[in-house]
Amino acid sequence: MTSISRPLRRVLLGSLLALALAMTAIAAPGGAASTIETTYKATGTWTVSTVAGTDAQGRPITIVHPTNLGANGFDHPIITWGNGTGSTPSNYTATLQHLASWGFVVVASNSGSVGYGGEVWAAAQAMIALNSNPSSPFDGKLDTTKIGAAGHSQGATGAVNATIMSNGAITSTAPIAFVDPFWFFGNTAQMPDWTKVTKPIFFISATGDWLASRSQQTTYYNGIAGPAAKAATKGGDHNVIQQPANAQLGYLTAWFMYTLRGDTTARQAFAGTAPELLGNTGWTNAARKNLP
């Protein structure tokens, strides 16, 4: 057997140690496997303001928007938000402000009962109307061809139903903690027809959420024939999204940057040959399909 000299052994051991450390950095939370997530979890460059308004049916809404609307000719995509049962936009202040800091105009129904989707869609319709209202500060400042819908728990149901009833006006959806069928208590009229969801959709959940199980998120995901993604944060309960700087914020933001703004960096979290979401050790139950 050929012996290896002591200096050469030191070189080889040093190389192996460096390789092991590099592999650890790639796999560890906060390392290369979460670089994109970290980017979009940081606050965006827009300062944010909040105003009150009414939806297309005259019901109260909250609008969280970049303060300097239309700066440098920018047209802001719209995200319409659905609250969880009994909640109001104030329960999601950090999330709504964060999305607005990335250039989105976020509109939320003030209702805590939005599961059928009418309130979520009517809020979006209000913003579409304001974009062509000369007396509104939003006049000509919005991109009404790029509308997303997101929501939490019952609001997740509302976001998906709003997407369906919009007949293609809502082009991207992110249901967060979409509950298992049991929690509809037989009210099947609220359950969306998944075959009618044809635009990109991203199911977000958490491993500690017993209201929205990972197995059921997979069932919902499997019911989508078109572009879709799903993933669950490791740890966290049903209300992760209500927490400031929550673990779901980075990929939620990246999803809309990708699907509504065509951001190529954000796209790498979900699409391509090796999307970051699939290798991020802070997430599990991740999958994607048919994403452009």
Query: Mean pLDDT lowest for which of 26-40, 74-88, 181-195, 274-288?
Result: 26-40
Residue 15: the pLDDT is 35
Q: What is the rounded CA–CA span in Å between residue 98 and residue 46? A: 9
pLDDT band at 59 (very low <50, low <70, confident <90, very high): very high
Domain spans in the chain, listed from the N-terminal domain onward:
31-289
How would you list the strands of the sheet with 201-206, edge to edge?
48-54, 60-66, 105-109, 76-82, 142-152, 170-176, 201-206, 228-233, 283-289
pLDDT for 151 beyond 50? yes
Per-residue pLDDT tens over the stretch 218-258? 999 999 999 999 999 998 999 999 998 899 999 999 999 99
Q: Which residues of 20-55 are buried (b: 16+ CB within 10 A; e: fewer)?
A: eeeeeeeeeeebebbebbeebbeebebebeeeebeb
Residue % of the chain over a pLDDT of 70: 89
HSE-CB for 86 with a 13 A CA cutoff: 1
The Cα 158–Cα 83 span in angstroms is 9
Q: Whole-angstrom Cα distance, residue 266 to residue 199?
A: 17
Angstrom distance (rounded) from CA 216 to CA 222: 10
What's the pTM value of the predicted model, to 2 decimals? 0.88
Q: How much of the chain, in percent, has pLDDT values that exceed 90?
A: 86
pLDDT digits (tens, 9 = 90+) for 97-146: 999 999 999 999 999 999 999 999 999 999 999 999 999 999 999 999 99
DSSP bridge partners of 205 = 232
Class in CATH terms, 31-289: alpha beta
Indicate the burial class of 17 (C-beta count within 10 angstroms; 0-12, 13-18, 19 or more). Answer: exposed
Rounded Cα distance between 116 and 160, Å, is: 9
CA separation for the pair 243, 206 (Å, rounded): 13
Residue pLDDT, tens place only, 14-52: 333 333 323 333 333 334 489 999 999 999 999 999 999
Angle at which helix 118-130 crosses helix 154-165, to 10 degrees, equals 60
Residue 116: Cβ-neighbour burial (10 angstroms; 0-12, 13-18, 19+): middle
pLDDT at residue number 2: 34
| Mean pLDDT of the residues in the chain | 90
- Radius of gyration of the chain measured on its C-alpha atoms: 21
The model's confidence at residue 263, banded by pLDDT at 50, 70 and 90, is very high
Q: How far, in Å, CA of 112 to CA of 88, rounded?
A: 6
